[in-house]
Amino acid sequence: MNETPDLHEETNELYEHFRFVVDKGQAQLRIDKYIFARMENISRSRVQNSANAGNILVNGSAVKPNYKVKPLDVITIVLAHPPRDTEIYPEDIPVDVVYEDNDIIVVNKEAGMVVHPGHGNFTGTLQNALLFHMQKSDPTGEARPFLVHRIDKDTSGILLVAKNELAQSKLARQFFYHTVDRTYVALVWGNLKNDEGTITGNVGRDTRNRLLMTVYADEAKGREAITHYKVIERFGYVCLLECKLETGRTHQIRVHLRHIGHPLFNDVTYGGGEILKGTTFTKYKQFVENCFKLLPRQALHAKSLGFIHPSTGKAMHFDSDYPQDLASVIAKWRAYSLHQNPDE
């Protein structure tokens, strides 16, 4: 028997990858029934949606729910997670909706808003706000936001949410196989040596603090993570970067930039919440502290997102302006770098 699935969970925990090798003595059976019988806590409709989204492959080719499994077939599945068991209540919270149709909703999330309930944040989340927003136009009360990716509480910017399970499954495939185009802007400590580069390293939970992530050389301790960066502007003691994600691990940009010695400006969690570069002059210290007050969070913004629409197949791209707090601090550093004393 070799029917126990190998499970590989994407670090964002919004979709999973399973692999089955069908037993030699297996009689022909519809693949949706086969999978449903071998996996716990899964509905048949969820399996069917995954197949219809092209997320179930047999021997490398996508199949429909009525495919009949055969002995020694190799089955791989990408499953989007269903909504969490945590009860979500609609809350009338303002949310910046950039685009919406019957399948997706794109928002520009403000910093400080948690994406979904959990870990002490059971109300006031983006999901609470979106549920209220959706139910205003859905009298049946069946509308529900289905997450396909996340950004941290104190990261601002573009976030895509599915409005039904099939759309979620199709979008999950794009995120799992890294075909989406995600661009972030980051203000980091230090003056990077190169104008552009790529950061690699396996990202996994820190064994000393499970709330943090770290980079491991050993691939058994973390998942492969790849971040491409390009310098947008240099301000002497800090740099403004464009970061493109090839993978989507938890805290990936924050951890990768700390790993190369350039943590995000005011990222307290990953070492950027103190003066790391510059001078000992009192005026400089006061300047940086004023910047921290203007931007009381990590300097990271999800600027743009490109993907294929789950129903129309059309390429879509959404971009956002810098939020006011980040824009103000960038302006201050730009002015400072132009007028700073070269002897400092």
What's the mean pLDDT in 315-338?
A: 97
Kindly give the residue spans of alpha helices, DSSP state H, lying in 91-205: 126-136, 165-176
Q: Taking residues 46-70, what's their average pLDDT?
A: 92
Q: How confident is the model at residue 86 (pLDDT cuts 50, 70, 90)?
A: low
Is residue 83 scored above 70 in pLDDT? no
Predicted pLDDT of residue 35: 92
**pLDDT at residue 10 greater than cutoff 70:** no
Give the CA-trace dihedral at 60, 66, 68, 69, to 10 degrees: 50
298 within 8 A of 266, measured Cβ to Cβ? yes
Q: What is the pLDDT of residue 144?
A: 87
Q: Is the pLDDT of residue 9 over 90?
A: no
Angle, to 10 degrees, between the axis of helix 31-38 and the axis of helix 44-52?
A: 130
Domains in the chain, start-ordered, CATH in brackets?
6-80 (3.10.290.10), 97-176 (3.30.2350.10), 181-339 (3.30.2350.10)
> Which is nearest to 144 in space by CA: 81, 88, 97, 91?
88
Question: At 90, which amino acid appears?
Answer: P
Look at 3-17, 111-125, 208-222 and tell me which has the smallest mean pLDDT.
3-17
Mean pLDDT, range 116-136, rounded to an integer: 87
152 catalytic per annotation: yes
Specify the higher pLDDT residue, 38 or 1.
38
Let me know: does 302 contact 319? Beta carbons within 8 Å: no
The span from the CA of 274 to the CA of 288, in Å, is 9
How does the average pLDDT of the chain come out, rounded? 90
Q: Which residues 6+ apart lie within 8 Å of 342 measured at CB? A: none
pTM higher than 0.85 for the full model?
A: yes
Averaged pLDDT, 57-73: 94
Return the percentage of the chain with pLDDT > 90, whole number: 70
Given the residues 152, 154, 267, 325, select the one marked as catalytic: 152
Rounded distance between C-alpha atoms, residue 22 and residue 71, angstroms = 5
Please state, for a pLDDT cut of 70, what percent of the chain lies above it.
92
Predicted local confidence at residue 85, as pLDDT: 53
**Per-residue confidence band for 196, with pLDDT thresholds at 50, 70 and 90:** very high
pLDDT at 121 over 80: no
How many other C-beta atoms lie within 10 A of the C-beta of residue 113?
A: 21
Backbone φ and ψ for 47, nearest 5 degrees, come out as -65, -45
**Rounded to a whole number, what is the distance in angstroms from the first to the last CA of the chain?**
70
Residue 116 confidence (pLDDT) above 50: yes
Q: What is the pLDDT of residue 343?
A: 40
The pLDDT tens digits for 231-267 are 999 999 999 999 999 988 989 999 999 999 999 999 9
Give the span between the Cα atoms of 291 and 272, in whole angstroms. 13
Residue 46: its pLDDT value, please? 84
Rg of the chain over Cα atoms, rounded to whole angstroms, equals: 22
